[in-house]
Amino acid sequence: MNWNEVRLLCGIYGTSGREHAVRSYILQELKTCGLPENAVSADRLGNVLVHKKGALSAKRRVMFSAHMDEVALMVTVLHADGSIGFDAVGGVSAAAVIGRQVLVGEQRIPGVIGSKPVHLLSADERKKPAEMSGLYCDIGTASKEETEQLVQPGDIIYFPENARDFGADSFASKAIDDRFGCAVLLSLIRSELPYDTDFAFVVQEEVGLRGAGVAANQLKPEIAVVLEATTAADIPGCEGADRVCLLGGGAVISLIDGRTVYDKELYDLAADICVKNGIPHQTKTKIAGGNDAGAIQNAGEGARVMAVSVPCRYLHSPVSVIRKSDAEACEKLAFALVSALQEKDV
């Protein structure tokens, strides 16, 4: 796993519909891979599609996919006192952002997310979860006129770049979901692959899996492998199946989630690869979440899908945490699947 590249990718700012900087980095890196000019394209929605020639022609059309966008907040209104109202881009919990430092707009203006002071909350308000409508962003201005010189509705509020090693075998950052997957795809593309393979770096996953279906309609895969990050709730207060998956448990191979019933033969193939190659692996213990497989599965004539995910604590928050060993297990499995999906009878 190229951890320097994971850090670089996580540090880039690019939420749903604003993936330009992430796409530019990926396109620049693809220029160094010796690919023919017609092997790389960017469609009208912003997806980056890549065809990588392998040593042998593919027996079936296989696509590996990861999404470029990250969750964030969007400015919706400027208040008379200079504070900023906003809403979420993607599934961001209001409780996860209260008191957080943020960066606002293209100028990356420092801000703080504020909420009604606890001593002013009514008894009923204290019992209810926080809502985005009750929060505001403070950038140190004192009037709407002052704020609108710096910020406009539609500007994005990002969580700051914060990638770092964390503990003995962990990595913490914003945007691990899904810059981790993008890093794995780049690693595959840079390699000498045994078979022709298609790749899709897609947009707008966090707001409804919008880019993946468009990409699949163009590439028409028979089989698609989605590289993702998925929720690990192995934290205090969560027990048994509610933990979903565990950091340190290896690559997560999904059977079912909130959007997709995965192909059982492909699941069995991936699990068998892991057992034979000593790759740590696990599956989810609860039906939760969803990813681009849900859109790829029913695009065009349909595709058989599987998801290989890194377990991730604090997903969709300002800082997420993964184990490096889990990420490396996902990458090893992805490399093995390039051959297995062509050679095995599935």
Is 271 within the bounds of a domain? yes
pLDDT exceeds 80 at position 195: yes
Q: Could you tell me if 59 and 195 lie in one domain?
A: yes
* Residue finishing a domain among 98, 125, 158: 158
Cβ neighbors of 185 (< 8 A, separation 6 or more) are 64, 65, 66, 199, 201, 227
Q: Could you tell me if 293 and 247 lie in one domain?
A: yes
Q: Could you tell me if 198 and 262 lie in one domain?
A: yes
pLDDT tens column, 163-175 = 999 999 999 999 9
Q: Could you tell me if 186 and 137 lie in one domain?
A: no
> What's the confidence (pLDDT) of residue 130?
86
Is 233 within the bounds of a domain? yes
Is 168 within the bounds of a domain? no
CA 43 to chain centre: 20
pLDDT exceeds 80 at position 125: no
Is 219 within the bounds of a domain? yes
pLDDT exceeds 80 at position 120: no
Q: How many residues does the chain have?
A: 346
Q: Could you tell me if 83 and 60 lie in one domain?
A: no
Using CA atoms, how far residue 340 sits from 178, 192, 199, 270, 288, in Å, is 24, 15, 17, 9, 28
Is 240 within the bounds of a domain? yes
Q: Could you tell me if 197 and 288 lie in one domain?
A: yes
Residue 297: which domain range? 3-70+174-343
| Torsional class of 311: left (φ above 0), alpha (ψ -120 to 50), beta (otherwise) | beta
Nearest to 38 by CA among 46, 49, 29: 49
Of the pLDDT bands very low, low, confident and very high (cuts 50, 70, 90), residue 119 is confident
Q: Which residues are catalytic?
A: 205
> What's the confidence (pLDDT) of residue 127?
77
Between 39-48, 50-59, 110-119, the lowest mean confidence (pLDDT) is in 110-119
| Torsional class of 314: left (φ above 0), alpha (ψ -120 to 50), beta (otherwise) | left
Q: How many structural domains compose the chain? A: 2
CA atoms of 305 and 297, how far apart (whole Å): 6
Of the pLDDT bands very low, low, confident and very high (cuts 50, 70, 90), residue 126 is confident
* Residue finishing a domain among 97, 131, 158: 158
Q: What CATH number is given to the structural domain containing 16?
A: 3.40.630.10
Helices (H), the chain: 3-11, 20-30, 123-127, 144-147, 176-190, 210-219, 264-277, 293-296, 324-343
> What's the confidence (pLDDT) of residue 129?
85
Q: Could you tell me if 258 and 337 lie in one domain?
A: yes
Is 11 within the bounds of a domain? yes
Contact present, 89 and 19 (Cβ < 8 Å)? no
pLDDT exceeds 90 at position 259: yes
Of the pLDDT bands very low, low, confident and very high (cuts 50, 70, 90), residue 283 is very high
Of the pLDDT bands very low, low, confident and very high (cuts 50, 70, 90), residue 313 is very high
Is 167 within the bounds of a domain? no
pLDDT tens column, 8-29 = 999 999 999 999 999 999 999 9
Indicate the pTM of the whole model: 0.96
CA atoms of 140 and 83, how far apart (whole Å): 8
Q: Could you tell me if 257 and 302 lie in one domain?
A: yes
